[in-house]
A = this chain, B = another copy of it.
Amino acid sequence: MEILNEDKLIDMAELFKIFGDSTRVKIINVLLDKELCVCEIADLVNASQSAVSHQLRILKQSKLVKYRKDGNCTYYSLSDDHVKKIFMLGCEHIDEM
């Protein structure tokens, strides 16, 4: 191994794994510039409320999204700019293929 130790490489793989699912990428995509509640997300990405909720839990655990509760609703948004950056770079790569 080079400069990076194994643990860090494993963490990196874990991070990319989160981005490596189409439902989650779709969720990140609709959250790029605004927060949305679960049912809005489910509607936009064309998935069930349950599926989206499960995936949001994973995104939350990985600290890629944050949330706030308002009455009945839970609004999700991207944690920070890094998430957007990684998304955008992946986007660029696809464009150039």
- Name the prevailing secondary structure of the A interface residues: helix
| Known contacts A1-B30, A92-B82; is-contact A16 B13 (Cβ 8 Å) | no
In whole angstroms, how far apart are the Cα atoms of A90 and B16 in the complex? 7
In whole angstroms, how far apart are the Cα atoms of A5 and B32 in the complex? 14
CB-CB under 8 A from A22, the residues of chain B are 9-10, 13
A86 CB–B CB distance under 8 Å: yes
Contact A97 B25 (CB under 8 A): no
A93 CB–B CB distance under 8 Å: yes
CB-CB under 8 A from A14, the residues of chain B are 20
**Across the A-B interface, the 5 shortest Cβ-Cβ residue pairs:** A17-B20, A16-B19, A20-B20, A16-B20, A13-B22
